[in-house]
Structure 1
Amino acid sequence: MDQADIPALLSRLASDEDAARKMAVFKLQSSINDPSFADVFISSGGLIILRRLIMSTGGNTLAYSLQSLSRLLEVDMGWDIFEGPTAGDLVERVVELIVTNPLVNILRGAMSILVALVSHSQSTSGGRTPVSFGFRALKPAVAVYPQFFDLVIQQLNSADHALCANALMLINALIRDAVSSEPNLDSSKTAGTGEEWPKFIRRLQDLGLIKAVYNLMQSSALQDLAHPLLEFQSLTKVLLQKWRQVQVDVERPEHRRALKGLHLASAPNRDHVNGVGKVEELQESGKKGSRRHNPEKWRRLGFETESPAAEFNNTGFLGLMDLADYVRKNEDGFQKLLLEQSTKPLHERCPIARSSLAVTLILYEHFDCDKSEMEDLRGYQLSDGKHQDKLFRPLLLQWSRLHTAGLNAFFKLWKSTGAEQEDFDKVAELVRILVDQVVGQAGRSKDVLEVEDDLVEYDLGRLRELQMELLELSFDDQWGQHLYKAREGLNQEALTFIKEQRVRCLLQGSWFSKPATRKDDQGNSGSNRRAANGTLWRYAKLSHNRRYLHWADFAFRTGPEPNLDALSEKVDLREVSSVASNVSAPSGDAGGETSNSTKITIFGYLNPDEANKAKDVNEIKEEPLLTLHPLNHSLASEWLDGLLMLLGQAPITAETNKLIKLVQDYGMKIRLLNVRMEATYMGPPEGAGVVPSREGLDDDYWYEI
């Protein structure tokens, strides 16, 4: 719309006819976000007319009017409408519309205006009356309509995504204003609201805010709500930061009540007397006289000292909130756990409070709560659709439940590993890996119930494997080349070890089956199941000098194993050219029976002199020297690879290679687990390096061997 048309537009906006006003304000909303147009509109007195329309009209005329003001504020103009003695009436009107009007297009515009009003920085207009922004501007109107917050949060369930986004942006603006206005982090008073920001946040949470946003973050509406959802996620981290920065102080009533709640929930024994009969007294405010007090009042709960406030230095009030929340929701389990721990020696007890603080820090670090709040939004803008989904962390909103599940997992790991007090950091590291694996790998839509179950039921063996993999990766980053050399050395050691094991199997000797020779004559069915010479078994054994393979055939498997003297045949391993086999992976257990077709064939040159004279390898003719039919797959693997390794060749069966890798991995794990300084260098034994005195000795001495 041309600026020259503004006088006529204003005339129609001020008309008594609703149809004329509606058409005029419809055109206004599409032009007013042009700064040059907006400037002429404002200087021509347009704000007064626009305000009147918002205060007095309804239906589409009102919706277009609200949208016009919202777009004007978007270009940072028109703030004068909130000046003067009637500014409060305008804000109250907008709040009233949110509380009482059911029309979506009106609700969207009203919420957009409040988002701008709350988000706008505190300012003064040219020395005139200060203009209030932030929650302070809404406070008088909210006092008139106390259901305001409830109804805003209800709109998060709206099917209209634009309205839902506007409602979430308004909540974000209110939270940001509440937590960013106060200059002193250790004080919970906000300059903007005049209220304590934790109480304000809890008020919103009690109205179902967390559940509503959690559902949105897991819904299919994610793309339409991406920016306000990511902002809410970032604000959640800001809140966690601020709760952590508030130091626990027993002089503050809220902190004192939380600590007292922990003590009372533990079902303390008030008649406790310490070991020497001295009764400690505790004066409680508002009570007459004194009460007996357990000298380990706080240590029995898992604190390290009797001054628990100082132990929250790393977690701040966030750690106290998490512990208090766990105890409040699991009071029976908490008391049972305390009773169970009290029956154990002190060094075996799991320190409950200390464990809770460790889980709080693990979650805090896992979710990168100290990360810049705009990094998630920037990451969303720069990433493609496949990776955008991973930026949303709905489980962050389930902090309390994750803390409880993580703490229960801590207790389970403590018990299953047989941990003691000195192992605390090791168990905490296992829990850290567990959280990274379960929470970190959980998809956006994974239900929190599944995550809770996975945290508590995760297999300890798999967790240990993950720990070793991470340890190897960590070492690989810092000690890559040294690690490769260590692996190479360990591989050779493992190969040598398994070669010796396989050769010892050959030295021990084994029985093999001897399948019957097939006959073409079907009438000779009785005898065709036996070998031609009447033998069914073959026994083979390696000589002590490892140069000859002795063997013989037998009609029966004898009780004692045949010795070398009983084995009439032998193969000189120097004449062996190759070993062939059809050994394959077993279909069942490794020790299961193999079919009669499984065999190992040892080839060689019957005339070594001719082989040496041959000019072409293809001219040399190999002949089978010995055929063995192993009774099971393990035996086949032992003999095939044993023979190959004796001939200087690499093993080929999966079973042998698996054993080599197993030995290599165990060697690496032992080295990785044994990297502490005290384990590497214990220092010289006491008295080492001291030269003995010769005093009182003569020249008559000797060496004792």
Structure 2
Amino acid sequence: MDEPPDVATLVAGLSAESESARKYAVFKLKGLLGDPSFADAFIQADGLPPLRQAVLSTSGNTQAYALGSLDALLELDMGWECCDEMVLEKALSLAISHPLVNIVRNALTLIVLVVSRPLAAGQQDGEEPVFGFRALKPALENNPGFLESLVQRLSASDHTLCANALQLVNALMRDAVVNGGEQEWPKFIKRLQDLGVIGGVGMLMRGDAAGDVDSPLSSAIIEFQNLTKMLLRKWRDVMVNMELPEHKRALKTIHLLSNPDPYIPPQGVNGAKVRKHHPEKWRRLGFETESPAWEFDETGYLGMMDLVEYCRRNEDIYQKILLEQFVLPREHRCPLARASLSVTLILYEHFEIDDGTASPDQPSYRNSMYERATQQSVDKLYNPLLLQWGRLHTSALNAFLRLWKDAGAEQEDFYKIEEVVRILVERIVGSAGRKTDVGKVEEKLRVVSLETARRWQMENLNDVYQDAWGPHLVEVREQLHLESLQFMKEQRIRCLLKGSWFPTSTGSKNDEGGTAAWRYVRLSHNRRWLHYQNYPSSRRKTGAEEVPLAELAERIDLHAVTSVDSNVSAAEAAPLAMQMLQNGNDSTETLKESARETSNNTNGNATTTKITILGTSPKTKGSAAAAEDADERVLLELFPPTSPLASEWLDGLLMLLNQQPITKDTTSLIEMMEDWGVRLRMLNLRWEDVDWEALEMSVKGDLGGGGGSDGVGGREVPSREGVDEPYWFALPDEVGG
């Protein structure tokens, strides 16, 4: 492998008469200048003048290599003395019209580096050399088509060229905001928008090339997206001031586009005119007062811009809406201006403009959002609809007006409609993918019905609860579940301590038939033994249902019980199977046969429910090793005649063995106690713990009015008028039982 040439050889090559020698020198130089030590040696050897001359006087690939070498020096913060007006003008002219892509790439990179360079330490703002956008002003005056050409480069087929062009757009936007002054940067941003930069970047976002999140193009797209958020935030931070001509002119535009009727003021005393303007000049447009400047406090100048753009682009619709509102009673009129400001805030919150991903004083090509790019899907990373802010505002505002009309809303229902529009934006705009055309989003906002919006609102109710109380409710439910489980365990075991009667087989007919045999089973007080005894008949009809433990000769050591088996779950499903059989809803012959058998057994006062207690033989007692190796056998079989009794004994035995309950009756009771426990705990929450206003709006969902402050969901609270004596609530008997 050839050794790289030394610095002296390269400097001599740059000054050579031969075109091939200069081409070889700049080609080698571009790769070597990435080393700071070599770059420093190159500058010390007076290599900057011949390099500058190569940029200005060569052509073709030689010029491309020369521009690339100068870019490498500037990236190391060296060689800035080369970037005089002649070099910048040369770079601008090459970027505008040169056909070679590699020359245009390097020329755009050079301009990006110049615009992005901050002031040096200790340098005053007005001192030379001047960098940033101001450094390009002389060259831009000689090349007026540069910005238009730059925007056109965004649609180039070469992705690297697109990335370089977009990086320069980003650098110019950022420098204009930081150093352009309050009056200059809005004009420059508007100029870029008029040239079509929004459409160009939108196409890049939706293109396949943006799918590679590690590419320079992806980095530039994310930077532009963050800059757009920064601009929206900056516009919102500008307070509306009627002393400023631009703000006064914007508000006047809103009024004039409404096509107001000529106003003839009434004559006062001695013919003096008492008022110059219509008494409802601004309220007619949907403002709350006749001094509308303060109503832009929340949205700032951004809200005024959105309203002016809506009026300009929809002048006929704007005037028609105002005429329709004017003929309605005052309480049924939809305040258009106020609705516009609400939609601005809804979009502002939806796109998370205040997330702080962009700062006006430093570039963020590698910001936190970009660093998370590899962990997010591409659809979540890019948001092309953010660039269509004006069209989304128009569509959402039209949806606001339409829903207001469909709901028959009144002035007091404004916040309810606002909440519904917020849900529409979240559902429709939020679910749109990276390649979704804005026209489809506009169409969905145009046709979505009030019924659909209300259904979405109710679906979001669980999210409201979760957002307000989610983490606390999870902890409370876990605690209450354990408490409810412990309570049911004690209740079920108490049923075992009381004892119960069971038929000894499924063939039992009745107590008087002579063939019936009954078994009484009862748990000992120390909960160690299960006592039982067989009887020819049950004592339940004699009033002496309980049998003392002393009369129960047989017993089972619960330490010897290994498991409890049953068919209770199948028995619980039998009534459902019978119902399906009667309704003709099931075609499975097995299920029909099971239902018929269950029905026949029930009609014969017999039971198919069976609980089997399994364990080891008592003979193995005293030998732990033998007990472990002993075969499991049936210790006792129970045939509960009713479902509640089966649930009590099966779950009681399981919980006595420290196992989980399995029957529907027990689990339903546990869930009921857990649910009511959560409700009671919620009643003890402090007022400031919950966003009650948002919760109330979601719970009511009554877009047609009603549901005032004195009731919930439109129902009035009963009055105490005429009631003088104290009163109490009587609890139902079943609660106490």
The yes-or-no answer on 1:203 pairing with 2:191 is: yes
- Residue 299 of structure 2 contacts residue 344 of structure 2 at CA under 8 Å; is this kept in 1? yes
Q: Secondary structure at the match of 2:22?
A: helix
The yes-or-no answer on 1:471 pairing with 2:465 is: no
Residue by residue over 1:370-389, the C-alpha shift from the partner in whole angstroms, topping out at 9 and shown as x without a partner, is: 11225994233234365233
- Identity across the alignment (%): 45
Aligned positions of 1:70-469 closer than 5 A: 70-82=71-83, 87-123=84-120, 130-181=128-179, 188-189=182-183, 196-222=184-210, 223=212, 224=215, 225-271=217-263, 293-374=277-358, 377-384=367-374, 387-469=377-459
Cα distance in 1 for partners of 2:300, 2:396 equals 19
Cα distance in 2 for partners of 1:37, 1:44 equals 10
Residue by residue over 1:18-54, the C-alpha shift from the partner in whole angstroms, topping out at 9 and shown as x without a partner, is: 0000011000001111100000111111111111111
**Structure 1 residue 687 displacement after superposition:** 9.1
Alpha carbons of 1:47 and 1:687: their partners in 2 closer, same or farther (altered >3 Å)?
farther
**Structure 1 residue 472 displacement after superposition:** 2.2
Report 1 or 2 for greater relative contact order, CA contacts < 8 Å, sequence distance ≥ 6.
2
Residue by residue over 1:554-582, the C-alpha shift from the partner in whole angstroms, topping out at 9 and shown as x without a partner, is: xxxxxxxxxxxxxxxxxxxxxx9964647
Aligned residues: CA RMSD: 4.2
Q: Secondary structure at the match of 2:600?
A: strand
Cα distance in 1 for partners of 2:103, 2:219 equals 22
Alpha carbons of 1:368 and 1:477: their partners in 2 closer, same or farther (altered >3 Å)?
closer
2:70 is aligned to 69
Mean CA deviation greater in 205-214 or 98-107? 98-107
Unaligned runs of 5+ in 2: 359-363, 481-571, 612-635, 642-662, 666-694, 702-706, 727-737
Alpha carbons of 1:411 and 1:594: their partners in 2 closer, same or farther (altered >3 Å)?
same
Cα distance in 1 for partners of 2:248, 2:308 equals 12
2:700 is aligned to 673
Q: Secondary structure at the match of 1:370?
A: helix
Aligned positions of 1:459-608 closer than 5 A: 459-480=449-470, 579=575, 581=577, 601=596, 602-605=599-602, 608=605
**Structure 1 residue 129 displacement after superposition:** 6.0
AA in 1 matched with 2:402: K
Alpha carbons of 1:13 and 1:406: their partners in 2 closer, same or farther (altered >3 Å)?
same
Cα distance in 2 for partners of 1:670, 1:125 equals 57
Cα distance in 2 for partners of 1:140, 1:610 equals 101
Cα distance in 2 for partners of 1:42, 1:32 equals 10
- Residue 156 of structure 1 contacts residue 168 of structure 1 at CA under 8 Å; is this kept in 2? yes
Residue by residue over 1:186-218, the C-alpha shift from the partner in whole angstroms, topping out at 9 and shown as x without a partner, is: x723xxxxxx11111111111111101011111
**Structure 1 residue 257 displacement after superposition:** 1.8
Alpha carbons of 1:278 and 1:144: their partners in 2 closer, same or farther (altered >3 Å)?
farther
Cα distance in 1 for partners of 2:427, 2:453 equals 9
Alpha carbons of 1:679 and 1:274: their partners in 2 closer, same or farther (altered >3 Å)?
farther
Residue by residue over 1:441-465, the C-alpha shift from the partner in whole angstroms, topping out at 9 and shown as x without a partner, is: 1000001000011112223333223
Alpha carbons of 1:276 and 1:449: their partners in 2 closer, same or farther (altered >3 Å)?
farther
Cα distance in 2 for partners of 1:158, 1:577 equals 69
Cα distance in 1 for partners of 2:42, 2:453 equals 67
TM-score normalised to structure 1 length: 0.68
Q: Secondary structure at the match of 2:6?
A: helix
TM-score normalised to structure 2 length: 0.65
Cα distance in 2 for partners of 1:609, 1:157 equals 83
Alpha carbons of 1:582 and 1:688: their partners in 2 closer, same or farther (altered >3 Å)?
closer
**Structure 1 residue 688 displacement after superposition:** 8.0
Cα distance in 2 for partners of 1:104, 1:12 equals 25
Alpha carbons of 1:346 and 1:670: their partners in 2 closer, same or farther (altered >3 Å)?
closer
AA in 1 matched with 2:190: R
Q: Secondary structure at the match of 1:293?
A: coil
1:563 is aligned to none
- Residue 416 of structure 2 contacts residue 697 of structure 2 at CA under 8 Å; is this kept in 1? no
AA in 2 matched with 1:452: E
Residue by residue over 1:53-105, the C-alpha shift from the partner in whole angstroms, topping out at 9 and shown as x without a partner, is: 111111111000001111111122212223xxxx1112111111112312111
Q: Secondary structure at the match of 1:441?
A: coil
**Structure 1 residue 341 displacement after superposition:** 0.6
Cα distance in 2 for partners of 1:310, 1:254 equals 16
Cα distance in 2 for partners of 1:302, 1:279 equals 32
**Structure 1 residue 432 displacement after superposition:** 0.9
